[in-house]
Amino acid sequence: FLCFAAETAGAQQMSLEPGQQQTEATRDTAKKKKVFYPVVLGLSDRTGGAISKQLFDSLLRQGVKSQDPAGQVTGFIFNYMERNLYEDSIGNIMVLTDLLTEYCPGDTLTPAVSSTIYLRTKRGDTAYFDNIRMILPEKGEVSGKGMKFVIE
């Protein structure tokens, strides 16, 4: 079915599920936008983009940092897409992507990931840092803006 929003007599109406009543809380929720605070990789100004293997490995060892010096990263999800060459059952060569996902408490990788990741990083791979949680002194627990790096 289709939902339409209309403005009538200066009051904005939201489309609601059948049986749901519009309350002050649902109007406020619709207006709120989630704020993401800036984070960087390591002690740098890198927030994403193309990056060399050597620089990526070096910054990754330093962890995910808040751009605000008073902020502290408390956890994040590390996603690593590794491109590899495979051969199928009849001998055809194909490039496929392997996915590694790990929740990392604190601001650095878990020991399980950091023990092998630096040997695996190579050109063409992609790393995402998502669901970054951090604490800022004046604001409490907040979300950090995700980052995407492509290794070249």
Question: Consecutive 10-residue runs of the chain (152 residues): their mean pLDDT?
Answer: 40 49 56 87 96 98 95 97 93 94 97 96 97 95 97 96
Cα torsion at 62, 67, 72, 76 (round to 10°)? -70
Paired strand residues for 82: 98
> Can you give the pLDDT at residue 52?
98
pLDDT of residue 70: 93
pLDDT at 96: 93
Neighbours of 125 (CB within 10 A): 20
- Give pTM, 2 decimals: 0.76
Distance of CA 119 to the CA centre of its chain: 23
Q: What is the pLDDT of residue 30?
A: 52
